[in-house]
Amino acid sequence: MLAVAVIAILAAVAVPAWMKQSSQSKARSEVSAVFAELSAKEEQYMAENSAWVPTGTPGAQYSAGPCPASPNAQGSADSTPCIQSGQPWYNLRVSVPTQYLYCSYTITTADATVWPPALPSELSWVQLPTLTQSPTINWFFLEAHCDMDGDGDPTHDSYYYYSSFDTRIQATGEGT
């Protein structure tokens, strides 16, 4: 009887910890793959067209997304609408690693005259690089929003950030 009680206590502690780690790994894996694809396609598009996608009036910042429209804890957010004709991912010729995603993604672009970027409130934690002068080239940043617990409460969600001027992936709320 004592052995059963000990096993039950261990399971009560280990299973939630494993579930949290599993969710964090799923999100991190997807975000890394999608960010790699989006950034490579942005760089390729810039080399061919001298502009980022999305593009707008010089001196302004533009965002495209989120795509898919919202994150999904079951990994069933369909990315098909993101790559349809007329959508920014279509213009970039993005090949999504999988049709169904856990996270939603936003691409923001601007020219060199817009610095620092106007980050959305959910990215207020991002550490922007300290520059001695404004960038001399146009830039982009990518945002991923993941709701891995499926509760719909954005304060419990994970957010990831990547940019053309700081290529490390920054994260907050991972696994919550």
Q: What is the pLDDT of residue 142?
A: 92
Distance CA 45, CA 41 (A): 6
Distance CA 29, CA 5 (A): 36
Distances in whole angstroms, Cα of residue 148 to Cα of each of 15, 41, 75, 138, 141: 16, 27, 9, 33, 22
Q: What is the pLDDT of residue 160?
A: 92
Distance CA 29, CA 138 (A): 28
Tokens of 16: 């939630």
Distance CA 72, CA 87 (A): 21
Q: Where are the domains of the chain?
A: 2-172
Distance CA 42, CA 139 (A): 10
DSSP string, 6-49: HHHHHHHHHHHHHHHHHHHHHHHHHHHHHHHHHHHHHHHHHHHH
Distance CA 77, CA 68 (A): 6
CA 95 to chain centre: 16
Q: What is the pLDDT of residue 27?
A: 81
Q: What is the pLDDT of residue 4?
A: 61
Q: What is the pLDDT of residue 124?
A: 79
pLDDT in 10s for each residue of the chain, 176 residues: 766 655 656 556 555 555 555 556 678 889 999 999 999 999 999 899 888 887 766 777 888 878 998 888 888 889 999 889 988 888 889 998 889 999 999 998 888 777 777 787 778 778 777 666 666 778 888 999 998 887 777 778 889 999 888 888 988 887 55
